[in-house]
Structure 1
Amino acid sequence: MLLSPKYRFLFVHIAKTGGTSVRAALERLRWRDPWYYPMFLCSRLSHLSGHRIATKLPRHAKVIAAQELLPKDYFDSLFKFAFVRNPWDLQVSSFHHIRRERPHYLGGHETFDAFLRWKLDPERPYQYHLDTSITLQSDYLIDLHGRVLVDFIGRYERLHEDFATACDRIGIAPPALPHARAAKDRKRDYRGYYNDETAGLIARHFARDIEMLGYQFDPE
């Protein structure tokens, strides 16, 4: 999550949706923000306390966390936005990220099929890096009553165009988006990773995202 008091925006960072590139582009604005240094100090205090005091909005916090921590009038005045991604594609990206960065979290399941079945097994013990990527994307966007709290939902599939739209709403020229790292060994089309069974696993687990965000396995 990225908050800019000067530019009055709140970016809700959902993992594996291009958010790292968006953060990198927008963080350059922080140097022009007079609140940068107080916020940096609060961030350090949060870290030193083991994050036991509410002085920092976590990187992948849900928008409801900001709603609860910030004054209502201030929260309502912010332009709040996020990016989402096709759930089938997101899980392929997550698999390659974990295999590249944290292979010990694979749990001995080296193929995409085996890892996905294990990952979505409700009996599997909780592991942060796995369960962040199986949290519904819609959970990051809504309050406890299911009302959408963000003002704009961009899509990974048209990242540059929707980022430009968000920047227009903020009132800035769009900074260049850094290129995100791509897995060298992943197939270009996520659909090649799935069979009917594993595609159905995603359809069931992420049913609310698919309905709310309008995704499907075979895009039109």
Structure 2
Amino acid sequence: MILSNRYNFLYVHIAKTGGTSVRAALKSLQWRDPYYLAQWMCSRLSGLTGHRIASKLPRHSKIVCAQEMLPREFFLGLYKFAFVRNPWDLQVSSYHHLKRERPFLLEGRESFEAFTRWKLDPERPYQYHLDTAITPLTDYLVDLHGHLLTDYIGRYERLQEDWDHICKHLGIATPPLPHKRQATDRQKDYRSYYSSDLADLVGTYFKRDVDLLGYRFDPE
């Protein structure tokens, strides 16, 4: 999550939705923020204490965290935006990310179908931060009562177009979006990873994302 006092925005960073590129593009704006030094110091102090002093908004915070921590009028006046992604495509992206960087989590469930069924199994014992893609996208965008708090929801599928729209609204020159963390080990079409049963399972698990964000397994 990135908060800018100077440009009056709050960016909610949902994992695997192009956020690393967006964060990199916003980096130059952060240096111009009058509170950047204070934010940087709080971030470092939080890390030194094992994040026990609640002095920063973590990278993948839900918007409700900012709502609870910031003054009400200030929060309401921020331009709050996020990017989302087709939940079926997101599962494929997250699977390959874990396969590359945390392969021990896949032991005994190396295939995409086996791992996805296991991680979405409601009987699976809780395991902290197994996979950020388990969390419905809309959980990052709503308050405790399920009301949408974001002013603009961009789409990973049209990342550059929606990024241009956001920058125009903020009144800033559009910083270029660098290509970050592009996977080279996955098939391009996410649909090729799914059996019909598995596609239904993901659709049911992420039903609120499907309903509120309008995604479908087969967009055609």
Q: TM-score, normalised by structure 1?
A: 0.97
- Deviation sequence 1:166-212 (CA, Å, 0-9, x none): 11111111101010222222111000000101101101100110000
SS state of the match for residue 204, structure 1? helix
Distance 1:97 1:188 in 2: 15
- Counterparts of 1:152-171 in structure 2, within 5 Å, are 152-171=152-171
Task: Deviation per CA, 1:92-113: give whole Å up to 9, x if none.
Answer: 0000000001111214211101
Q: Which residue pairs with 1:38 in the alignment?
A: 38
How large is the RMSD of aligned CA atoms in angstroms? 1.1
Q: Equivalences for 1:55-204 in 2 at 5 Å?
A: 55-204=55-204
Give the Cα separation in 2 of the matches to 1:131 and 1:197.
21
Q: Show structure 1 runs of 5+ residues with no match.
A: none
Amino acid at match of 1:199: A
Distance across 2 between alignment mates of 1:51 and 1:144: 23
Give percent identity, aligned residues only.
Answer: 65
Tell me the TM-score normalised to structure 2 length.
0.97
Structure 2: which amino acid aligns with 1:177? L
Q: Which amino acid aligns with 2:169?
A: R
Aligned to 1:12: 12
Secondary structure, counterpart of 1:130 in structure 2: coil
Task: Point out 4+ residue stretches in structure 1 off by more than 6 angstroms.
Answer: none
Tell me the amino acid that sits aligned with residue 211 of structure 1. D
Aligned-pair CA distance for 1:27: 1.6
**Post-superposition CA distance 1:17-40 (Å, at most 9, x none):** 111110111022111122111110
AA of the residue aligned to 2:94: S
The CA distance in 2 between the partners of 1:208 and 1:34, in whole Å, is 38
Of 207-216 and 105-114, deviating more is 105-114
Structure 2: where are the runs of 5+ without partners? none
